[in-house]
Structure 1
Amino acid sequence: MHNISVYASVHNKNGTQIDSIKSNIIPILMPGEVKPFSARPDYAVLKDANYFSCAGFDPNAPPNTLDLGNGKFLTYGLESVAKISNFSYDKSTDSISFIADHYNPLGGIVTFRIPQLNNNQNITIYLDNLGLKDQQITKNGKTIVTNIFIPPNEHTVRISGILNRS
């Protein structure tokens, strides 16, 4: 892997997040290799920093699948430095819903991918039950990719048109 950065939240003794940090770049990391890195909170909160929580990933993890019932599954991709909860598919609205809380205090992107079932498949993104303007959706004939900006704090995301039933 090349040009790796570690992102972490900085917490005070009460568990409140007081900063988000990014490590120095690790230029190359070979399989099984361990390398040191450093990341420091902002000087203004340094004295209150008690612990860090990091977001990690496994490049060898199997694809994500969502059980749709009746022996059917949906393969999907979801990438973000965010807490994702209540992830589910609703057949009646042909939509996937989840709650997202980005770890960056300024908000950030959640990237979501699903297989493109046909050229006419259209998906719509809702944030807190409001349709998003300037939706960032791309299709390449095989995959639909969305980049959804999540503002600070917790928000409900709904993506409709998942199985092309909307």
Structure 2
Amino acid sequence: MSKTYNHSLHVLYVVSFLAILLILFYPSEIFSFTNEPEIISSENPRAFVKNYSSYFDSDNNTIIVGSVAKSDYQDFPQSVLVGVKTHNNITNSNEIITEEPYNSILSKDNEPFPFKFKINSTIFPDAVNSEPFIFESRNASIPNTKLNTFTLEYPVIPQGNHKELYGNITNTSPIQLNNITLFAIVNDRNSTQIDSVKSVIPTLKPYQTLKFTFVPDTAIENNVYFYSCVGGDIDDMKINDFQIVSISSSKVLGYKFSSLIQIDYLNYNASGNQFSFTINNIYPYPGSLSLQLMPIQEEPVAISIDGLPVETVSARNEDNKTLLELSIPQGVHDIIISKIQE
């Protein structure tokens, strides 16, 4: 009994000594990826990488492009980070590099949105062989208002000497749009994604039209055949802030939502004294729409949702403002506020 115990103790000492040596001389291999979140393989993912490809640019950087989409198994809109695992040649450690897709919130099932990594090949020589994956996918935070009050006009076939794409963007609303990110997927003759492109427009005034340009990387420009999935991402306002719209020289309207809302149409009809929204409540439960009219509305306004009058509206007057509260169901709805006093 004593011999068995001593032998076991001796073995334990040897194993412990070897483990210490491994930790001292090979720390990166032992602790590789210890700080990464647990990657769970699931048959019902929140989001997924639809496709990807890689190439070296003219400066020998590794470029990894692809697109991500929300899974149809997931009811909630997703905020996503894309990751690639690669080895850092300087620190001799394994790392995960992350990037956000060009669209900040994925809401439609299986709709692709592009992403792009630009990685230093000297520091990360094996990055070109990395397969991008969903590093993080979580329910998008609310409230958040996304504006879709713009139109894009463009051909899908490239026009410039370097296979650029030229188009026009028009603001169709009475409010200024800020920090517009336009994006597109670049495809070759076989409909394979070979690049991701974006263009940023700082401001777009009400009803203004501006030109935009997409420029592919010079390393792949000879293979560019057409552009697809052209779109834009615009945040309307900060959380808990009212967006103010001037509807006349003496009247302004403010609005804010308590849910994740996409505004598809926004307009004031002066002749009818009515303000119109077409909105999409993306979250799968009702959200509130808060309105304020300044100065105070002496006569009650009339409000309808999808053509049906709202009989009971929570309204109160304070600080020279008329405050209104509405409950907005999930989905797309037309809201009309009429009898607005000038």
Which TM-score applies when normalising by structure 2?
Answer: 0.31
Shift of 1:105: 0.4
**For the residues of structure 2 that align with 1:12 and 1:152, how far apart are their CA atoms?**
21
The 2-side partners of 1:117 and 1:143 are apart by: 5
Question: Where in structure 1 are there 5+ consecutive unaligned residues?
Answer: 1-9, 22-48
Does residue 137 of the first structure (1) align with residue 310 of the second (2)?
Answer: no
Query: What is the Cα deviation at residue 125 of structure 1?
Result: 1.1
Query: Conserved in 2, the CA contact under 8 Å of 1:65 and 1:73?
Result: no
SS in structure 2 at match of 1:19: coil
Match of 2:328 in 1: 150
How much has 1:129 moved relative to structure 2? 1.3
Structure 2 CA distance for aligned equivalents of residues 64 and 73 of structure 1: 14
* TM-score (norm: length of structure 1): 0.58
- Given the alignment of the two structures, is residue 54 of structure 1 paired with residue 54 of structure 2, yes or no? no
Q: SS of 1:54's equivalent? A: coil
Give the CA deviation at 1:52: 4.3
- Is contact 1:93-1:160 (8 Å) kept? yes
What are the Cα deviations for residues 91-149 of structure 1, in whole angstroms up to 9, with x where unaligned? 1221111112223302221111111345x232111100110122222223611111111
**Larger C-alpha radius of gyration, 1 or 2?**
2
Contact kept in structure 1, 2:246 and 2:253, CA below 8 Å: no
Aligned CA distance change for structure 1 residues 59 and 155 (closer, same or farther; 3 Å): closer
CA contact (8 A) 2:255 2:289 kept: no
Match for residue 126 of structure 1 among 274, 284, 304? 304
Confirm whether residue 19 of structure 1 aligns to residue 84 of structure 2. Answer: no
Match of 1:87 among 237, 257, 266: 266
Determine what percentage of the aligned residue pairs are the same residue.
15
**For residue 102 of structure 1, what is the amino acid of its counterpart?**
N
Task: Kindly report the root-mean-square deviation, in angstroms, between the aligned alpha carbons of the 2 structures.
Answer: 3.4
Displacement of 1:51 in angstroms is 5.3
- Aligned partners of 2:239, 2:281: CA distance in 1, in Å? 21
Superposition map of 1:19-38 within 5 A: 19=76
- In structure 1, what is the equivalent of residue 294 of structure 2? 115
From the two aligned structures, give the one with the greater helix fraction. 2
Native 8 Å contact 2:296 2:317 kept in 1: no
Flag structure 2 segments of 5+ consecutive residues without an equivalent: 1-44, 49-68, 79-135, 145-236
* Conserved? CA contact 1:84–1:101, under 8 Å: yes
Higher RCO (CA < 8 A, seq sep 6+): 1
Q: 1:18 to 1:79 in 2, by over 3 A?
A: closer
**Equivalent residues, number:** 125
Question: Could you tell me whether the CA contact under 8 Å between 1:12 and 1:18 is conserved in 2?
Answer: no
Name the CA distance, whole Å, in 2 between partners of 1:75 and 1:146.
11
